Structure 1
Amino acid sequence: MSDWDTTTVLRKRPEDRARVARSQSDLNAARRSGAAISTEKKSTLTNSSHANTDHRRIAKLDRDNEVAPPPKIDISVGKALQKGRQDKNMTQKDLAQLINEKPQVVNEYEAGKATPNQQVLGKMERALGIKLRGKNIGEPLTFGKKK
């Protein structure tokens, strides 16, 4: 017998390897073939009753953000923004295009519904030439030192 007549099989898979049935049809096919079937329910929780209620409560807090809702812009800023925009004969859409934001953003700031963003407020201040942050909201924006 020479080396040409022998056959070597590498990485042969065992035939009795366990499979996970992903559908009802796979499970029925295994029953018809007479395969051994075992069902396991896996859980990552150690103490399911106590841990489950904690996880639900924490998840609810994360979703609703009831602990500390984000602060909204003051209505005085919205009024000053609206007045400054109207003094320059601009629509909300015009201001939004000027500062590269959506018109909805300008609308939310004027209505006092927006969460303050310092970058957006800075762009609005420069575009309108009025103060929208700090003291003296609504006054003309001045650069440098006063004489």
Structure 2
Amino acid sequence: MPDEHGFLLGPLDAGPIRDTIHEILTCRDLPSPEDTTERLRRLRAHAQLLIPAARQRGEGCRNGIPTAYSSILTLGIDLIQRRLDRGCPAPSAHTPEAAHAYVQALARHCASLLGLVEDEPMPQHQPQGGPSRGCAAPEEDER
């Protein structure tokens, strides 16, 4: 969890974040407004953990000297933060398709932030050509 200055106090538990992202980006069925609202709530909570960690990571890239990479990184993180600050549209106020598309975009942002924090990008999920039946459940570790 970040402290009052936005620095992480310990390791980030990436498992639940990965599970949420995977659930949203592999969903091939249009979720109910209730499911969309719940997924949006989880993503917002994950983003609030990831943004300070990503900022910390970006500052570490600078070593006191602004670089093009760190400047672009800061702009991207700021964009995500502004979108969250403006508030997420209520799924009930939009078409289910628009709300789901918004949640998927936020999931992609969280995947990018997680990749930055972990220094390895998450696999990108490709759209499967429109809604069909069924959402994939998060994969269980096989041990």
TM-score by length of 2: 0.27
Structure with larger RCO (C-alpha < 8 A, sep 6+): 2
Higher helix share: 2
Highest Rg: 1 or 2? 1
TM-score (norm 1): 0.27
